[in-house]
Chains A and B, each alone.
Chain A
Amino acid sequence: GAGVSQSPRYKVTKRGQDVALRCDPISGHVSLYWYRQALGQGPEFLTYFNYEAQQDKSGLPNDRFSAERPEGSISTLTIQRTEQRDSAMYRCASSPIQGGLILVEQFFGPGTRLTVL
């Protein structure tokens, strides 16, 4: 079946512009996660949803970052007034519901490479 997809794969924008990054999770997956990953480093947690409810947004760097998942499927990560320091790979992952103590497998998408000029 289809895996997690993200669009666009590459986004170049000018400082001060808003960007919207889209994630389409695996069909039927309840949990959806957003991460930011620097080259050669581990993913940094941003936020996470179960269904349409945002469960934890403690990793969002500041109030320019927001995420939504209005119908419990596709999610959008929005960065307003982009800055050069926002340049990174943004990855989305999905999983069957994560709520117990034992981690379930997260399936990662190919990422969106964001470059802010």
Chain B
Amino acid sequence: TQLLEQSPQFLSIQEGENLTVYCNSSSVFSSLQWYRQEPGEGPVLLVTVVTGGEVKKLKRLTFQFGDARKDSSLHITAAQPGDTGLYLCAGAPPSNTGKLIFGQGTTLQVKP
């Protein structure tokens, strides 16, 4: 069974600080996504990474896919209270039947 482990599980920081969330696995994924979920809502896609070593930027968010496609990171620069939420990584196994495996999530709280 392929697993995605996220760390940290909880993060509480002050506005303006930087942070990094990690998503790790012992298995290879054909592609990986990051989602953000707000309370009472469903997850919403932030980015999809496909190529090993790929880096994508979305405003203050930087996403990286590991060279071996087993891990990924999300870095937020100058966090704002609006960044508060549950961040989820999700990966597709190489066989890709369509099954999406989610990490357990990182709850981020940004205090003003």
Contacts and interface: CB of A to CB of B under 8 A. Distances in A.
Contacts, number: 77
B31 A55 contact: no
B27 to A, nearest CB: 15
Interface stretch (B14-22, B55-63, B75-83, B98-106): B98-106
Interface residues of A, number: 31
B41 A103 contact: no
Nearest to B1: A58
A59 B99 contact: yes
A110 B98 contact: no
Nearest to B92: A103
A107 B42 CA distance: 8
Interface in A2-47: 4, 31, 33, 35, 40-45
- Mostly, the A contact residues are loop
Interface of A: 4, 31, 33, 35, 40-45, 48, 50, 55-56, 58-59, 91, 93, 98-103, 105-111
17 contacts: A42-B6, A42-B104, A44-B102, A50-B98, A55-B98, A58-B99, A98-B96, A99-B98, A101-B31, A102-B30, A103-B33, A105-B33, A105-B48, A106-B43, A108-B43, A108-B44, A110-B42
Report the 10 A-B pairs with minimum CB-CB distance, sorted nearest first: A108-B42, A42-B102, A101-B30, A98-B98, A105-B45, A56-B97, A42-B105, A103-B31, A48-B98, A42-B88
